[in-house]
Amino acid sequence: MTCTLAPEITGWFDARGWSIHPHQRAMLDRAGTACQLLIAPTGGGKTMAGFLPTLAELADGRHSGLHTLYISPLKALAADIKRNLTGPITEMGLPIRVEDRTGDTSAHAKRRQRADPPHILLTTPESLALLVSYEDAPRIFAGLQRVIVDEIHALAESKRGDQLMLALSRLSTLAPGLRRVGLSATVEDPPAIARILARHPDPCEILLADPGPDPDIAMLHTEAPPPWAGGGGKYAIPAVLDEIRKHRTTLIFHNTRAQAELFFHNLWLANDEQLPIGIHHGALAREQRERVEQAMVEGRLRAIVCTGSLDLGIDWGDVDLVIQIGAPKNVKRLVQRIGRANHRYNAPSKALIVPANRFEVIECTAALDAVRAHTLDGDIAHDGPLDVLCQHILIRASAGPFHADDLFAEIRSAGAYATLPREMFDRCLDFAATGGYALRAYDQWQRLVQRPDGQWQLRDPRRAARIRMNIGTIVDADKMQVRYQKRRGGAPLGEVEEYFASMLRKGDTFLIGGQIVRYEGLREMVVEVSRTTTQKPKIATFMGTKFATSTQLSDRILAMFRAGDWPDLPAHTRDWLHLQRKLSRLPERDRLLIESFPHDGREHVVAYGFAGRNAQQTLGLLITKRMEDMGLNPMGFVATDYATLIWGLDPLEDPAPLFSRHNLVETMEAWLADNAVMKRTFKASALIAGLIERNQPGAARKTGRQATFSTDILFDTLRKYDPDHLMLAITRTEAMRGLVDFGRIEDMLARIDDRIDHMRLARVSPLAAPLFLEPGRVPIAGAADQRLLEQEAARLMATAGLVEISA
Partner 1 sequence: MNALPFPFHGETLHLMPSGALAWPARRLLCVADLHLGKADRIARQGGPMLPPYETVETLDRLADDIAATNPAEVICLGDSFDDLAAAQDLSEALKARLTRLMAGRRWIWVLGNHDPGPVDLGGTHLADHTAAPFTFRHIARDGARAEISGHYHPKARIALHGRKITRRCLLMDDTRLILPAYGAYTGGLFCDHPDLDRLMGDDAYAIVLGPVPLRLPMPRSSIRPARRKSST
Judged by the rule CB under 8 A, the positions of this chain that interact with partner 1 are 434-435, 437, 439, 441-442, 445-447, 460, 462-463, 466, 499, 502-503, 505-506, 520-521, 690-693, 696, 703-710, 713-714, 717-718, 720-722, 725, 785-786, 788-790, 792-793, 796-797, 800, 802, 804-807
Confirm if 197 and 182 have CB atoms less than 8 A apart: yes
C-beta separation of 38 from 181 below 8 A: yes
Q: What are phi and psi of 253, to 5 degrees?
A: -85, 140
**Nearest approach, Cβ of residue 796 and partner 1 (Å):** 5
SS3 518: strand
Q: From the CB of 391, what's the least distance to partner 1, in Å? A: 13
> Are β-strands 98-101 and 592-599 bridged in parallel, bridged antiparallel, or unpaired?
unpaired
Closer to partner 1 by CB, 209 or 432: give it. 432
Residue 694 or 758 with smaller CB distance to partner 1? 694
Give the helix, strand, coil percentages of the chain, each rounded to 5.
Answer: 40, 15, 40
Report, in Å, the least distance between residue 488 CB and partner 1. 17
| Cis-peptide, bond into residue 452, ω within 30° of zero | no
Q: Minimum CB separation from partner 1 for residue 151, in Å?
A: 33
CA end-to-end span of the chain: 90
Give the residue among 464, 245, 433, 341 at the shortest CA–CA distance from 41: 341
Angle at CA of residue 573, ends 572 and 577, nearest 5°: 120
Kindly give the residue spans of alpha helices, DSSP state H, lying in 470-570: 498-502, 551-561
Nearer to partner 1, 4 or 708 (CB): 708
CA neighbor of 166 nearest in space, from 414, 473, 421, 408: 414
Cβ at position 668, least distance to partner 1 in Å:
24
Residue with Cβ nearer partner 1 (118 or 690): 690
- Whose Cβ is closer to partner 1: residue 419's or residue 710's? 710
Least distance to partner 1, CB of residue 720, Å: 7
3-state secondary structure at position 303:
strand
Q: Is the CB of 173 or the CB of 446 nearer to partner 1?
A: 446
CB of 337 to partner 1, least distance (A): 32
Nearer to partner 1, 161 or 537 (CB): 537
The per-residue b/e assignment along 508-524, b for 16 or more CB within 10 angstroms, e otherwise, is: ebbbbbbbbbbbbeeee
Shortest separation between residue 439's beta carbon and partner 1, angstroms: 6
4 vs 717 by CB, closer to partner 1: 717
**Among residues 373 and 788, whose Cβ is nearest to partner 1?**
788
* CB 786, min distance to partner 1, A: 6
Phi, psi of 639 (to 5 degrees): -125, 145
Q: Is the dihedral of CA 113, 130, 738, 148 positive or negative?
A: negative
- Measured torsion, CA atoms of residues 109, 115, 120, 126, in degrees rounded to the nearest 10: 70
Say if residues 342 and 364 touch (Cβ distance below 8 Å).
no
Q: Residue length, the chain? A: 807
- What are residue 191's phi and psi, to 5 degrees? -60, -30
User: How far apart (Å, rounded) are the C-alpha atoms in residues 753 and 747?
Assistant: 10
Of 559 and 797, the one with the shorter C-beta distance to partner 1 is: 797
Q: What angle do CA 50, 311, 124 make, to 5 degrees?
A: 50
3-class DSSP state of 44 = coil
What's the Cα-to-Cα distance from 619 to each of 608, 737, 775, rounded to whole Å? 11, 14, 17
CB of 248 closer than 8 Å to CB of 242: no
Tell me the three state secondary structure of residue 37.
strand
Nearest to 499 by CA among 517, 479, 522, 529: 479
Least distance CB 780 / partner 1 (angstroms): 13
d(C-alpha 158, C-alpha 143), whole Å: 29
**Among residues 571 and 807, whose Cβ is nearest to partner 1?**
807
Nearer to partner 1, 446 or 481 (CB): 446
If the CB atoms of residues 497 and 757 are measured against partner 1, the closer one turns out to be: 497
Q: How far is the CB of 605 from partner 1 (least distance, A)?
A: 23
CA–CA dist 425, 409 (Å, integer): 10
Paired residues of 251 in beta bridges: 304, 322
For partner 1, the closer of residues 626 and 694 by Cβ is 694
Instruction: From 423, 366, 428, select the one nearest 397 (Cα to Cα).
Output: 428
- Nearer Cβ to partner 1 (372/701): 701
For the bound state, the minimum distance from the C-beta of residue 103 to partner 1, rounded and expressed in Å, comes to 23
Least gap, CB of 684 to partner 1 (angstroms): 15
For the bound state, the minimum distance from the C-beta of residue 441 to partner 1, rounded and expressed in Å, comes to 3
Cα(740)–Cα(678) distance, integer angstroms: 9
Smallest gap, in angstroms, from Cβ of residue 87 to partner 1?
46
The DSSP code sequence of 304-329 is EEE-GGG-S----S---EEEEES--S
Residue type, 73: P
Least separation in angstroms between residue 696's CB and partner 1 is 7
Provide, rounded to whole angstroms, the least separation between the CB of residue 360 and partner 1. Answer: 25
Given a contact cutoff of 8 angstroms between Cβ atoms, the answer to whether 780 and 774 are in contact is: no
Provide, rounded to whole angstroms, the least separation between the CB of residue 673 and partner 1.
17
Cα–Cα distance, 790 to 775 (Å, whole number): 26
User: DSSP assignment, residue 601?
Assistant: T
Rg (CA), the chain: 28
Residue nearer to partner 1 on the CB measure, 656 or 794:
794
Q: What is the DSSP letter of 214?
A: P
Instruction: Indicate the residue among 296 and 504 with the shorter CB distance to partner 1.
Output: 504
Parallel, antiparallel or unpaired: strands 509-512 and 98-101 = unpaired
Nearer to partner 1, 197 or 718 (CB): 718
